[in-house]
Amino acid sequence: MKIRINQIPPEGLELEEQISAQVLDLETESIKFRGPLTVKAQVSRVTNAVIAKVSVAGRIFFDCSRCLRESEAALKKDFSLHFVLDKGDVEINFDPDIRQEIIIDYPIKPLCRTDCLGLCLKCGKNLNEGKCNCNN
Ligand SMILES: [Zn+2]
Ligand SMILES: [Zn+2]
């Protein structure tokens, strides 16, 4: 999401864009996306700074770190960005800051649900689907 500074009217600007996870460089070893993220921004200009209230929504896909099943979860975050303008700045690119705000919240061990029972260490059965016969 880029914005030309001279296109921000005095009353501010509202933007909405679909941005792919690839453009924002959001995919990691364990976190994947299958569709774009919806990024909304309320942009306003003060004397020598631009403030953006940003709201991001999308879905992440990952393998549960306990039961290994493929899972998905909502990704949603609201945050504010603040850009101090230098003389000669023409355009602001929000993408690097948006990326930072999102990846900082990535779970280190993503779970399909918080009480995931995981796999039996002996037979490997997914215990979310019922007990196994290992008697543990
Ligand atoms: Zn799980
Ligand atoms: Zn078992």
Give the pLDDT confidence of 32-77 residue by residue, as tens digits: 999 999 999 999 999 889 999 999 999 999 999 999 999 999 999 9
Q: What is the pTM of this model?
A: 0.86
Tokens 């700045």 sit at which residue? Answer: 89
Three-class secondary structure of residue 52 per DSSP: strand
Residues for the chain: how many in total? 136
Looking at residue 135, its pLDDT comes to 74
Which ligand is located closest to the Cα atom of residue 73?
A: 1
Where is pLDDT greater, at 131 or 87?
A: 131
In which element (H, E) is residue 95 found?
helix 95-103
Tokens 């290992």 sit at which residue? Answer: 134
Residue 14 makes CB contacts below 8 A (sequence gap 6+) with 40, 41, 42, 43
Q: Identify the DSSP state of 103.
A: H
- For ligand 2, the distance from its centroid to the CA atom of residue 70, given in whole angstroms, is 20
Nearest to 116 by CA among 57, 62, 51: 62
CA dist 25 and 57 (Å) reads 15
Nearest to 43 by CA among 119, 96, 94, 100: 94
Residue 136 has pLDDT above 70, yes or no: no
- For ligand 1, the distance from its centroid to the CA atom of residue 115, given in whole angstroms, is 8
Q: What is the mean pLDDT of residues 105-134?
A: 94
Residue 132 has pLDDT above 60, yes or no: yes
31, 59 Cβ separation under 8 angstroms: no
Q: What is the mean pLDDT of residues 78-88?
A: 94
Looking at residue 47, its pLDDT comes to 85
- For ligand 2, the distance from its centroid to the CA atom of residue 97, given in whole angstroms, is 46
